[in-house]
A and B are shown apart, each in its own frame.
Chain A
Amino acid sequence: MAMANVDKGELMEQVKQQVAVANAQELLTQMTQKCFKKCVNKPGTSLDSSEQKCISMCMDRFMDSWNLISRTYGQRLRREQSKF
């Protein structure tokens, strides 16, 4: 029985980790696409300093946007749930 409990706990941790990793991967994929689109308009032979600065700001704004949307969605879900 003790053995089964350890396996279950590990399994639960692994699942949580996999969910977190998948979330992070999606975030990075989106962020890369959006910020490339916004910041690199004429691809040159390297990223110049203004492009790098833009990408850095873009990453921060992307996270701000994600957090705001996450909050708004949560609020909307709770509003809809309270109707029942």
Chain B
Amino acid sequence: MSDFDVSGNDKELQEFLMIEKEKAQVNAQIHEFNEICWEKCIGKPSTKLDHATETCLSNCVDRFIDTSLLITQRFAQMLQKRGGGDL
């Protein structure tokens, strides 16, 4: 095992780095959701999150993901119809 090309030769390290990268991506996604959904759902901060606010936050995450999936789908259809040539 060479001193410098550790990740190239080391399966365990490669896997570890891949998992840590995925974890970091999940964190980044959560920050993004929190930023967007805070604006949509939180009014004046009080002593706890009431039930309506919690429902709003939870729905916000699911609807954002639904939106992303829908746009991906429709965009693929748009590309098919136009033949994809112009883009």
A residues neighboring B (CB under 8 Å): 1, 4, 7-8, 11-12, 15-16, 19, 22-23, 26-27, 30, 34-35, 38-39, 54, 57-58, 60-62, 64-66, 68-70, 72-73, 76
With known contacts A30-B34, A66-B34, A69-B33, A8–B10 Cβ distance under 8 A: yes
Choose one: B1, B28, B30; the contact of A70 (CB below 8 Å): B30
Cross-chain contact B6 with A11 (CB below 8 angstroms): yes
B45 with A54: CB separation less than 8 A: yes
When distances are taken between beta carbons in the complex, the residues of chain A under 8 Å from B42 are: 38, 61, 65
- Asked if B10 contacts A69 (CB within 8 A), the reply is no
Q: Which residues of A contact B52 (CB under 8 A)?
A: none
Bitwise, B1-12 to A at CB < 8 A (1) or not (0) is 101001000101
**Chain A residues near B62 (CB, 8 Å)?**
72, 76
* Bound-complex Cα distance A69 to B18 (A): 24
Question: How many residue pairs between the two chains, A and B, have CB atoms under 8 Å in the bound complex?
Answer: 88
Give bound CA distance, A58 to B58, whole Å: 19
Question: Is A64 touching B34 in the complex (CB atoms < 8 A)?
Answer: no
User: Chain B binding site: helix, strand, loop or mixed by DSSP?
Assistant: helix
B86 at the binding interface (Cβ < 8 Å): no
The 9 A-B residue pairs with the shortest CB-CB distance, nearest first, are A58-B45, A72-B61, A57-B45, A61-B45, A72-B58, A23-B27, A64-B49, A69-B33, A26-B31
Q: Does the CB pair B16–A65 fall under 8 Å?
A: no
Q: Is B65 part of the binding interface, using a Cβ–Cβ cutoff of 8 Å? A: yes
Shortest C-beta distance, A45 to chain B (Å), equals 23
Closest to B49 in A: A64
